[in-house]
Structure 1
Amino acid sequence: MTGLRLIAAGHTRALRRAVFGGDDPLDDAGRNIARTLRIPGNGPWISAPSRAARETAALLGATPGIDPALADPRYGTWTGHTLDQIDPADLHTWLTDPAAAPHGGESHTQLLTRATTWLRSQHQPALTAVAHPTIIRAVLAAALDLPATAIRRLDVAPLAVTRLTRHPDGWHLHLPQSTS
């Protein structure tokens, strides 16, 4: 059985401002919260190439390998812009048509295909992956055989930890027990 632990990278200034793309480091709060998490170290760790993902993994005590398949979505001409700087009609198209990429970057359909391909290649008994929350959402949609439209309907908070296990009938989602 394959066990996959997914950790969303911590908060960055760009994430808090809803900026598309970029490669910001964790902000002070993101670093402080990451330092408080205790993640067991079984199995290898991998990380998206982004600074936030690598920094999150390092603060959790890991020295991850870098996996380009876990890179943040490509936002094309929207990179570095906030929601209010995007043409509302283009934003509406992107949010309602999973195959649309008005920014010239990756559509939700392309992102789901990338996540599905990555997920199918995972066969280690235990692996921890750190990536941007959007990539985690795409991996979860792939694991649960959801359509690309589900990517935007799944909420994954920064530093959220999710576990997937592969069984003969497919991937199973395990949500952690509450500590409060």
Structure 2
Amino acid sequence: MDTRLLLVSHAATAAQRAGRFPADDPLDARGRAEAEAARARLALPADAAMFTSPASCARDTAVALGLSATAADALADIDYGKWRGQRLADIADETPCELAAWTREADAAPPGGESFGQLVRRIGEWLDAQQADVRSYNAVNEAGFAASAHHRTIVAITHMPLLRAAIVHALGASPAVFYRIEIAPLSIVELRHSRRGWTWWPTATT
């Protein structure tokens, strides 16, 4: 059984638009409207296994997209530590060297927070766990799979750093390339797993 995974970045929050680090912010009216407007464009498969970050903005996005999703801790946003809820401009004034390192170095982390390298390992473990579930399912249903090809589709509503990290993991790339990957709100990253392992696919949306 092959796996198709659609990772969706949540709609923008008011805190993001104001240049603040996330602090479990819900979607405001604008964010909900943008997610609802993107529903047809994203065209997410209704028969997929649905997961979401436990963060309010991700769960709100799932609801706006008409999805009933299960929260998974592994899909939580990167831990911003002491920067959580603070303005980016204030951090740049107070600790510019720490902020500069965090934006360019995969092993740099906010005080008390999580580095991008750690995030790549976290999402990689979750991706590997999805394949372990598929292998177990195949073993139980081996006779049925001999007759025809099957695949599993997963949709996960999560955060922009998670989409970056998933791409890095799928490509087997160095986490140091993370700052060269740009992800917008309500974007899709499609990964597929087959005998070759995880691969990154371009996603066509209507």
Question: Is the partner of 1:165 in helix, strand or coil?
Answer: strand
One-letter amino acid of the structure 2 residue matched with residue 24 of structure 1: D
Shift of the 162–147 alpha-carbon distance from structure 1 to 2, 3 Å rule, reads same
- Unaligned stretches of 5+ in structure 2? 135-151
1:44 aligns with 2:49: yes
Aligned alpha-carbon RMSD (Å): 1.5
Shift of residue 128, structure 1, vs aligned partner: 0.4
Contact 2:19 2:89 in 1 (8 A): no
Shift of the 18–146 alpha-carbon distance from structure 1 to 2, 3 Å rule, reads farther
Q: 154-163 or 66-75, which moves further after superposition?
A: 154-163
Which residue does 2:36 correspond to in 1?
A: 35
As a proportion of its length, which structure holds more helix? 2
Shift of residue 42, structure 1, vs aligned partner: 2.1
Moved over 3 A (4+): none
Shift of residue 102, structure 1, vs aligned partner: 4.2
Which residue does 2:24 correspond to in 1?
A: 23
Query: What is the TM-score normalised by the length of structure 1?
Result: 0.92
Shift of residue 130, structure 1, vs aligned partner: 0.3
Contact 1:21 1:73 in 2 (8 A): no
1:147 aligns with 2:174: yes
Report the count of equivalent residues.
179
Shift of residue 49, structure 1, vs aligned partner: 0.3
Q: Residues 121-156 of structure 1: CA distance to partner in whole angstroms, max 9, x if unpaired?
A: 113511100001111111121111122122222111
Which residue does 1:12 correspond to in 2?
A: 13
Shift of residue 165, structure 1, vs aligned partner: 0.7
Shift of residue 178, structure 1, vs aligned partner: 5.7
Shift of residue 105, structure 1, vs aligned partner: 0.4
Q: 113-122 or 63-72, which moves further after superposition?
A: 113-122
Which residue does 1:64 correspond to in 2?
A: 69
Distance in 1 (CA, whole Å) between partners of 2:108 and 2:84 is 16
Shift of the 34–118 alpha-carbon distance from structure 1 to 2, 3 Å rule, reads same
One-letter amino acid of the structure 1 residue matched with residue 67 of structure 2: A
Query: What is the TM-score normalised by the length of structure 2?
Result: 0.81
Aligned with 1:111 (options 119, 127, 147): 119
Aligned with 2:100 (options 85, 92, 106): 92
Distance in 2 (CA, whole Å) between partners of 1:97 and 1:177 is 32
